[in-house]
Amino acid sequence: MHKAFEVVYLAPEMVQFERHGDTLSLTVVEDAGSTHYPRVILRFCFPVSNNGGYLSVRDANDEKQSEIGIITNWTELETSDRQAVAAELGLHYFVPQVTRIHSIKEELGFLYWRVETDKGPQEFVMRNSIIHNTRRVSPMHWLIIDVNDARHEIPDVGQLDTRSQRLLEEFLSV
């Protein structure tokens, strides 16, 4: 037996977000009154292809993290709500963009990366399983997932220098 699932859309005028330290809370205001959720988490429904819209709001106090509703475009929220949401998303969706690859070294089933990103130089390690640890978003756009589940993005392989492209070709078969 399948349980029916109904999508609840949260209009910008219905929601009030607040940050208290590292905790994001939500109050949903409706005609019948308001409901307060002391801890919520936010997840993009389409995290790679559409991070401007379709934001799932979930109850962090619920073990199953039940969905409260979906905001179709969080940039339409009131300024204070938008700022609280942006801060929360910045914590979860910190994705540096790789601008140059200095080296990729393979050792004992791991790939050790030394790169330049839009957030500065970084080193990370990923398992040498391209199928499980990379996502090809489009022919030139790649997402690389390291051993800590942190993500690194290469928005356009064609924009990298020749040496970086050769390393990608050698290790990722780009």
- Among 49, 149, 169, which residue's Cα sits nearest to residue 101? 169
Task: Render pLDDT for 98-140 as a digit per residue (tens, 0 to 9).
Answer: 999 999 999 998 999 999 999 999 999 998 877 778 888 888 9
How would residue 1 be classed by pLDDT, with cut points 50, 70 and 90?
A: very low
Over 70: is that where the pLDDT of 2 sits? no
At residue 92, what are phi and psi to the nearest 5 degrees? -85, -35
Position 126 scores a pLDDT of 92
Containing 22, the helix (H) or strand (E) segment is none
At residue 161, what are phi and psi to the nearest 5 degrees? -65, 165
Q: pTM value?
A: 0.58
Position 147 scores a pLDDT of 85
Position 48 scores a pLDDT of 57
Q: Which SS3 state, helix, strand or coil, does residue 133 take?
A: helix
Task: Render pLDDT for 38-96 as a digit per residue (tens, 0 to 9).
Answer: 999 898 887 656 556 789 999 988 778 889 999 999 889 999 999 999 888 877 777 89
Task: Render pLDDT for 13-52 as a digit per residue (tens, 0 to 9).
Answer: 999 999 988 789 999 998 889 999 999 989 888 765 655 6
Task: Render pLDDT for 147-172 as a digit per residue (tens, 0 to 9).
Answer: 877 889 999 999 999 999 999 999 88
Position 174 scores a pLDDT of 59
Start-end of H helices in the chain = 79-92, 130-133, 162-172
